[in-house]
Amino acid sequence: MSRLIVISNRVADLNKNVQSGGLAVALADSLRKRGGVWMGWDGETRADAGERPPSVKQIGDVTTVTIPLTREDYEEYYLGFANSVLWPLFHYRLDLVNFESAFLEGYRRVNKRFADVLVNYVEPDDIIWVHDYHLIPLATELRKRGCKNRIGYFLHIPFPPPDILSAVPDHKWLADSLLSYDLVGFQTQTDLGNFLRYAEEHVGIHPHPDGSLRFRNRMVRADAFPIGIDTDAFAAIAAQYADEVQIDAMRRSLLDRQQIIGVDRLDYSKGLPDRMKCFSRLLELYPEHMKRVSFLQIAPPTREDVDAYADIRQELESLSGAINGRFADFNWTPIRYIHRSVPRDKLAALYRVSRVGLVTPLRDGMNLVAKEYVAAQNPDDPGVLVLSKFAGAAEELTDALIVNPYDIDAMAEAVHQALMMPLEERRRRHAALFDRIKRRDALAWQRSFLSTLESLTATDADAA
Ligand code: ADQ
């Protein structure tokens, strides 16, 4: 078995598996089995970042290699091209794209630096797995430095339709960069289809039925690999019930009240304002839920240095305030809005005691919260997942109540249906959903990507 080299924007702490979630567990597991290297940004900015040697740690057979960025890199690569161009663009939000040529320069510069550092740790038989939108040009940079290894890429976020992608300058360069990998993996069939259509319409390549493409005399394989969670481990944590969550749940049960839960990073792609409006609409349409249902939204801040994120935070604070002002009573707060991170065991317990999981992104690569909510339920008395049709997870989780996150009335109807759903139907839907996320968990995802990558013949770097 080849050694594995993983590169992602950030590197997870390999000593904190349970807290850091399915992706880190899956990658750490394959790294431990194969031995190898995990490289990324250390999260720091330093004026002398370009000259400093990387920080290297050895944990068993796994080496972690991290580097700092300069302030300029952080602004142009991370806040700029990655999070003000690619993130909104790939989430179909052209209105929020803020394109500046310095951003692209910074993005290229940091990818070159990653490649300069990484080549020192790569051995000839290693396979290389690059993650996400921060590092699209990395394969091209590695090839320029003589790297002939098999290199796979996985995009965690959606891939937009060709017309949207082509609105950004340098879209051809982005596509060329992706086509320099041996394997390009997407979350869903929709994303894969968008990529293949772009290749056909804008690059003039006709994909083979198995998703392979001939580009500049080499073969590139594209496929969908829906990411999963560490289902069994998450279900086990949820069944333990954090004490304070249990006390809160008992109090609600005495009052015959139900809880709806939403958990998201505070991001405009997650559809949070519409979700709050949906809860308000539920109370208008079905006043019988007044004092019987409360909505808990947990949304820790992210990327606060990007303007669009400060805007969404303000909008949510004023919406939750207005809805509570309108409906609250002295002994009932309709919306509880928590603006911080919650430990994983508590989160799992909160999912379990919530009758409805409301996951309504406007666009999402996969959405692991949807899968965590299902994993956390008590199979004898499970809650109901209400899921946006624009989350990648909707391709798999067809037994959820699937909604259009732009249609607030229809979402309110679906939440009402979820709250009223008979036990037998809840059990049937949950069993089907659980079966799916158990079969397609994080380990299965990682194995299927790596075995596909290993099955491909190594690239002739000179032809790239
Ligand atoms: P994200 O956009 O971060 O991931 P998601 O898939 O939902 O979205 O994962 C979020 C993770 O953060 C979950 O594990 C969740 O439990 C955790 N989390 C969220 N809020 C939290 C809180 N308040 N406290 C603690 N933990 C919290 C990107 C893509 C997704 C894709 C994933 C994985 O945008 O579409 O599913 O990568 O590929």
Supply the pLDDT for residue 58. 95
At 92-126, the pLDDT tens digits run 999 999 999 999 999 999 999 999 999 999 999 99
**Looking at the predicted structure, is the pLDDT value of residue 463 above 50?**
no
Q: Which residue has the tokens 């850091």?
A: 20
User: Could you tell me the residue ranges of all domains in the chain?
Assistant: 4-228+443-463, 231-439
State the pLDDT confidence band at 21, using cuts at 50, 70 and 90: low
- Return the residue whose CA atom lies nearest to atom 1 of ligand 1: 367
Supply the pLDDT for residue 12. 86
DSSP states along 173-231: HHHHHHTTSSEEEESSHHHHHHHHHHIIIII-----TTSEEEETTEEEEEEE------H
Distance 44 CA to ligand 1 centre (A): 22
Strand partners, 38: 6, 64
Contacts of 303 (CB under 8 A, 6+ apart): 79, 83, 267, 309
CATH superfamily placement of domain 231-439: Glycogen Phosphorylase B; (3.40.50.2000)
Question: 376: Cβ below 6 Å to ligand 1?
Answer: no
Whether 264 is a known active-site residue: answer no
Q: How many residues does the chain have?
A: 464
State the pLDDT confidence band at 1, using cuts at 50, 70 and 90: confident
Are the CB atoms for 365 and 156 separated by under 8 Å? Answer: yes
**Looking at the predicted structure, is the pLDDT value of residue 18 above 70?**
no
Distance 338 CA to ligand 1 centre (A): 16
| Cα–Cα distance for residue pair 363/157, rounded to 1 Å | 9
Whether 95 is a known active-site residue: answer no
Q: What is the average pLDDT score of the chain?
A: 94
Are the CB atoms for 461 and 115 separated by under 8 Å? Answer: no
At 420-456, the pLDDT tens digits run 999 999 999 999 999 999 999 999 999 999 999 999 9
Q: Strand, coil or helix: what is 309?
A: helix
Q: Which CATH number fits domain 4-228+443-463: 3.90.950.10, 3.40.50.2000, 3.20.20.70, 1.20.1530.20?
A: 3.40.50.2000
Average the pLDDT over 345-355 and give the result. Answer: 95
| Cα–Cα distance for residue pair 54/298, rounded to 1 Å | 36
Stretch among 175-184, 295-304, 324-333, 417-426 having the lowest mean pLDDT: 295-304
Distance 367 CA to ligand 1 centre (A): 6
**Looking at the predicted structure, is the pLDDT value of residue 24 above 90?**
no
Distance 277 CA to ligand 1 centre (A): 22
**Looking at the predicted structure, is the pLDDT value of residue 419 above 60?**
yes
Average the pLDDT over 43-58 and give the result. Answer: 94
At 253-291, the pLDDT tens digits run 888 899 999 999 999 999 999 999 999 999 999 999 999
State the pLDDT confidence band at 464, using cuts at 50, 70 and 90: very low
Question: 408: Cβ below 6 Å to ligand 1?
Answer: no
State the pLDDT confidence band at 13, using cuts at 50, 70 and 90: confident
Supply the pLDDT for residue 336. 95
Q: Which atom of ligand 1 lies closest to the CA of 229?
A: 14
Supply the pLDDT for residue 458. 64
Supply the pLDDT for residue 23. 73
pTM summary value = 0.96
